[in-house]
């Protein structure tokens, strides 16, 4: 652990706030499952580092946020209370109300129909949290994807720019921001009905099948895309995929190869 991030190497007289930052920064350097060993021989995991950072500075919003991301649905004892992910993210927002990612992180913890009350009493659901995040910073692909999943076919959602967006337009925006995320192409394909097409980033018109094929092009191991592609095919029909033409039977076989424990596609 570099001396500048090692709390046990902090100069005498270091403030509680600066000590808190040292514990927080040490946590940020760790890969999931790893621990930090300080010069005094003590060993700390990521959660313990964030908890210590919060104990030293109970208004350190980013420490609350990072601690929440380590829980994966669990809880943790801290400051005399039991905390879950949602409570930690709400606390992070209390101290970082202009952080777009805090709204996105909280949205990702909620169930589809769930509402949450923020520290100021405001009640928000996934859609409202995503819209707030986008109003602060529209550059995160995952936030657009999460927002799109709240929109039903034929519905439009009013964005902070005053324009109404369809579910397809929202998925396309997510793709524009991160075209390497194969799941976005699959999600876009699933939003299109029979005979429907949508303009995609770059201007080309895609139907659902073309979206699934693009997903496979980006990630040839995406079982969901193969499954959805197979559903769009007739018996005996072939499509051109990376590695050559594949019949419906071959596409179905690929689904089983990639996801042998999944529900057999029909």
State pLDDT tens for residues 27-70.
Answer: 999 988 899 999 899 999 999 999 999 999 999 999 999 999 99
Name the residue ranges covered by the structural domains of the chain. 166-266
Q: How confident is the model at residue 266 (pLDDT cuts 50, 70, 90)?
A: low
Give the single-character DSSP code of 84.
E
Residue 206, pLDDT > 60, answer yes
Q: Are 63 and 88 in contact (CB under 8 A)?
A: no
pLDDT value of residue 265: 55
Average pLDDT, the chain: 94
pLDDT value of residue 129: 98
Q: What is the CATH number of domain 166-266?
A: 1.25.40.10
Q: What is the pLDDT of residues 100-157, one digit of tens each?
A: 999 999 999 999 999 999 999 999 999 999 999 999 999 999 999 999 999 998 999 9
Q: How would you label 13-25 residue by residue, b for 16+ Cβ within 10 Å and e otherwise?
A: eeeeeebbbbbbb
pLDDT value of residue 83: 98
CA distance 228 to 96: 41
What is the torsional sign of CA 250, 252, 258, 260? negative
CA distance 141 to 13: 43
């Amino acid at each position: 652990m570099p001396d500048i991030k090692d709390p046990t190497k902090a100069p005498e007289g270091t403030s509680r706030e600066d000590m808190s930052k040292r514990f927080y920064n040490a946590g940020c350097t760790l890969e999931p499952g790893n621990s930090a060993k300080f010069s005094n021989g003590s060993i700390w995991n990521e959660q313990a580092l964030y908890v210590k950072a919060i104990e030293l500075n109970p208004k350190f919003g980013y420490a609350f946020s990072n601690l929440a991301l380590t829980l994966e649905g669990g809880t943790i004892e801290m400051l005399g209370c039991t905390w879950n992910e949602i409570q930690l993210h709400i606390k992070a927002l209390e101290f970082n109300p202009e952080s777009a990612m805090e709204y996105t992180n909280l949205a990702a913890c909620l169930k589809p129909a769930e509402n949450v009350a923020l520290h100021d009493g405001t009640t928000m659901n996934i859609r409202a949290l995503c819209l707030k995040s986008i109003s602060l910073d529209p550059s995160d692909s995952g936030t657009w994807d999460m927002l799109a999943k709240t929109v039903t076919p034929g519905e439009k959602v009013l964005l902070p720019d005053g324009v109404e967006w369809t579910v397809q337009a929202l998925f396309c925006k997510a793709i524009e921001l991160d075209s390497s995320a194969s799941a976005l192409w699959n999600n876009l394909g699933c939003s299109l009905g029979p005979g429907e097409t949508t303009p995609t980033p770059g201007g080309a018109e895609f139907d659902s099948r073309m979206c699934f094929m693009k997903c496979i092009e980006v990630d040839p191991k995406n079982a969901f895309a193969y499954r959805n592609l197979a559903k769009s095919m007739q018996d005996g029909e072939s499509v051109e995929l990376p590695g050559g033409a594949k019949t419906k039977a071959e596409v179905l076989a690929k689904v089983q190869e990639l996801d042998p424990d999944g529900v057999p596609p029909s």
